[in-house]
A and B are shown apart, each in its own frame.
Chain A
Amino acid sequence: MFTSFLIKYAEIGVKGKNRYLFEDALVRQIKYALKKCDGEYEVHKSQGRIYVEALGEFDYDDVVDQLGKVFGISGICPVVSVEDEGFEKLCETVIKYIADVYPDRNKTFKVHSRRARKNYPKESMEINAALGEAVLGAYPEMSVDVHEPEILLNIEIREKIHIYSKVIPGPGGMPVGTGGKAMLLLSGGIDSPVAGYMIAKRGVKLDAVYFHAPPYTGERAKQKVIDLARIVSRYTGPIYLHVISFTDIQLYIYDKCPHEELTIIMRRYMMRIAEHIAQETGCLGLITGESIGQVASQTMSSMVATNEVCELPVYRPLIGFDKQEIVEVAEKIGTFETSILPFEDCCTIFVAKHPVTKPSLKVIRRHEHYLDEKIEELVRTALETDELIIVSEEQ
């Protein structure tokens, strides 16, 4: 029945002179998303709207599912498009439309028509009244409410006539790519994929870095991170995932520094390495899944210590979230099941029983000097052996 979709977008509608940039990005993202659906589609802008038109057979559910993952879309309206074959025929079509879309017709409605093709014989007010009457005649159980209708029946008269009333909520946000690029520290846990998702939703393209510590973390742990990146890439498009071998750095810190400070010093080196790759690849910030007080390395004092080593801003979209709130998003975006698979991640393997929760910057800096002899070389080697994996759904 439906052959096209009207895409509603909220925020990008108000972007003034840059608006076309946002719209073009949205069109591009929609086209990318639709590649995963069978069939051919035309996506075009017209008069402040974006239309997706199926050019042949297509799977309605697949298309709605894919469009539902495109940031920037606030609503998806499935549209019935018909040729203009006279007003009487239009009434029949609308009556049939209501029968198909609303099995339960005990509802209030309002007809809202727009006559974009001015040579149509009726004016929009007339169309509204006549169609409303026709609907009431067909379905006496329905009633008109012009202020808060349950069904807002849109009729647009253009080359063809378009009928729509349903709005399927989209994810909101802004089209990926309009906000620059940032580097996500991806661990394999529940939080970091959610953090990446939330920043990407603001139009930011994602790269990611994963710290691999063989033999303490296995191939399955790495595969899990790749799988998580792949799930996030359904929303963000392809993700460049940098896999950094971190074992030697970790063991060196273990050898030289007080054990309770291992995690915090380790995280400082992770941030340094992530920032280095970020700057080389044109990222404008780092993203972490930290939330205040969740673990020892995420207290405010600890974050002062980890934040200090970076010049780029560190975005922490989950900073005020409770675990349960994070889990809810993880479940919604589909990363939760993968995140809870029981493989070690490199943050937990050597963690002390009582790691510092209030590290003093002065002390940490002093203890980091214990590493002076070899750490630069180890970091350089880690950067040189960076393994780049391009993760996307199409693999």
Chain B
Amino acid sequence: MNAAPRTSLPAPPVTASRRRILARTRLDFWLDALLLVAYTLAYSLGFTGVATHEWLGIGLGLALLVHLTLHWDWVIRTTGKLFGRGGRERFVWLVNLLLLLTMTLCIASGILISEVALPQLGITVTASSFWRQMHDTTATLTLILVPVHAALRWRWIVGVARRLAAWRPGRSR
């Protein structure tokens, strides 16, 4: 076995700014993972039942606001440089825009056709076929766009997952 040489340089000290970036990366990773799991469960209506589906949808809506807020800098930066960027970055931006539109309309229409969650809160709405159809169509579109959205960043996901797997508290990874 090769033992590490005793004369090796000590690891550089972790600066406060680096630590902040690491914490932010961890937050992004776990929030995104949570969103993906919640979305998958919410889409599987037969598994969750109506009440869980609706409450998960509402929770997903709130979590998505946080997700979008955390990545708002990327939105501004990419939108500003949209025409100067390469084809891939423009494609990612377009997928994200479509996902924002469809997910917002899906959650909004889901709230408007709610059968359990809203009545539990004392709010009653009469669901129209328009919102029901909107919910079905946008839900199908999100099922296509969500995995595409996640897979477009698979290198980042794999990289962070590897670092997190090797991460120990107190170590700078």
A binds B: no
